[in-house]
Amino acid sequence: MAARQGFPLILCAPSGAGKSTLVKKLCAEFPLAFSISCTTRAPREGEIDGVHYHFLTKEAFEQKIQNNEFAEWAVVHGNYYGTPLKPVTEQLAQGKDILFDIDIQGAKQLSLSLPGAKFVFIFPPSLEILKERLVNRGTDSMEVIERRLKNATGEIEQSHWFDAWIVNDDLDKAYDELRAFYLSCTLEPRLCTQILKSVLGK
Ligand code: 5GP
């Protein structure tokens, strides 16, 4: 039977809600393409250019904005972040599902430009726990953490339009819910028109 069509799956969450772990688990289990963003923030320890992000200077990023090379872009926590358009177009044309890990400003832009995209918002159990996780992660200064917490409240308050809400108070449970949502999206008739041809033999 011919493969079904692909779709964009967008995951949004405040920093520290556990989104990266959920992204890794979903990409490990299913053959999803991952959209590698561009950013002007400095790489963290262990992050590889071209794998986790494309790390760019401010000037290089602004040049790409001028050239319309982004599907969306935004300033997040004081740095530029953006989704390169070309790989998204190419992978969708190849029938692949694409997973995006982007902030809510970028998600809103994609909701207007990527028809059929699905949007999942991951909540931390509480703002106190979110702060604890960011401090324990040890990758950001207290100033950066405070800025991220302030942004978290704003993001949570704007999450009403998403297709699915998942609270990450237990990683296994949150992953089961994400997995279930992803699988249900893959069953949408508009992505699976080949089933009719195959069943009816036409
Ligand atoms: P971090 O610096 O912790 O990797 O990411 C900070 C925030 O930027 C996260 O919420 C992440 O989802 C978001 N982000 C990562 N890539 C992009 C992107 O291409 N576009 C937008 N709008 N946000 C992004």
- Residue 88 in contact with ligand 1 by CB distance below 6 A: no
Question: Which of ligand 1's atoms lies nearest the C-alpha of 109?
Answer: 22
Mean pLDDT value across residues 153-160:
94
Q: Is the per-residue pLDDT at 2 higher than 60?
A: no
Mean pLDDT value across residues 7-13:
97
Question: Which of ligand 1's atoms lies nearest the C-alpha of 38?
Answer: 19
d(CA 158, CA 146): 19
pTM of the model as a whole: 0.93
Mean pLDDT value across residues 49-73:
97
Q: Which of 95, 48, 96, 38 is nearest to 71 (CA)?
A: 38
d(CA 86, CA 92): 10
Of 3 and 40, the one with more pLDDT: 40
109 Cα: distance to centroid of ligand 1 (angstroms): 14
pLDDT digits (tens, 9 = 90+) for 92-126: 989 999 999 999 999 999 999 998 999 999 999 99
Mean pLDDT value across residues 80-89:
97
Q: List CB contacts of 189: < 8 A, sequence separation 6 or more.
A: 195
What value does the mean pLDDT of the chain take?
94
- Residue 185 in contact with ligand 1 by CB distance below 6 A: no
Instruction: Tell how far CA 184 is from the center of its chain.
Output: 18
φ and ψ of 85, to 5 deg: -75, -40
Kindly indicate the confidence band of residue 49, based on its pLDDT and cuts at 50, 70 and 90. Answer: very high
Mean pLDDT value across residues 181-193:
95
Starting at the earlier edge strand, list the strands of the sheet with 164-167. Answer: 33-34, 98-101, 8-12, 118-123, 164-167
Mean pLDDT value across residues 55-71:
98
Instruction: Tell how far CA 199 is from the center of its chain.
Output: 35
pLDDT for the residue numbered 137: 85
> In the chain, pLDDT over 90 holds for what percent of residues?
80
pLDDT for the residue numbered 160: 96
- Residue 74 in contact with ligand 1 by CB distance below 6 A: yes
pLDDT for the residue numbered 1: 53
